[in-house]
Amino acid sequence: MIKHRPKTFEDCINEAVRIFFKYFRNDIRQLLYTYPLDMKTKEGKLFWTLPKRPPREISQLDPKNESHQTFIASYSVLFAKIFSIEYPKDFRKPEGKSKIMEHAVKVKVEDFVPSA
């Protein structure tokens, strides 16, 4: 972690976006790769039947979505605090979150590649 430590708040935003897609897209895609929607159990029933529900991924970051804004802003600031990096003090306010999201939507994220 020290080798790849962030140097700027923008680096912290980049890491927040990477984590967002890991949790809400890649991990879900991996789960559905391992247990496809049409997979059956030993008994011949569909794997994804109640009480199990298949998860739904978030394929892109929505700059207007309050939950997306809060996750990215909070994670970015938390990461910045860990490494003593200056961060915007208005990150809890709508204007502050909007500024953070302006950078976040421009971040390029690697494509998902399922693991065996």
Hey, which residues does 40 pair with through a beta bridge? 46
Q: What is the CATH number of the domain that holds 100?
A: 1.10.10.2660
Q: What is the pLDDT of residues 45-102, one digit of tens each?
A: 999 999 999 999 999 999 999 999 999 999 999 999 999 999 999 999 999 999 999 9
In a domain, 29, yes or no: yes
In a domain, 55, yes or no: yes
In a domain, 113, yes or no: no
Q: Do 18 and 109 meet the contact criterion of CB atoms below 8 Å apart?
A: yes
Q: What's the total number of domains in the chain?
A: 1
Query: E strands within the chain?
Result: none
First to last CA, the chain: 26
- Domain that residue 48 falls in: 9-104
Q: Do 25 and 58 meet the contact criterion of CB atoms below 8 Å apart?
A: yes
In a domain, 14, yes or no: yes
In a domain, 2, yes or no: no
Q: Do 57 and 28 meet the contact criterion of CB atoms below 8 Å apart?
A: yes
In a domain, 4, yes or no: no
Q: Does the pLDDT at position 116 exceed 90?
A: no
Kindly report the pTM of this predicted structure: 0.91
Q: Does the pLDDT at position 2 exceed 80?
A: no
Q: Does the pLDDT at position 1 exceed 70?
A: no
Sequence-separated (6 or more) residues with CB below 8 Å from residue 47: 35, 39, 40, 41
In a domain, 72, yes or no: yes
**Chain centroid, CA 114 distance in Å:** 17
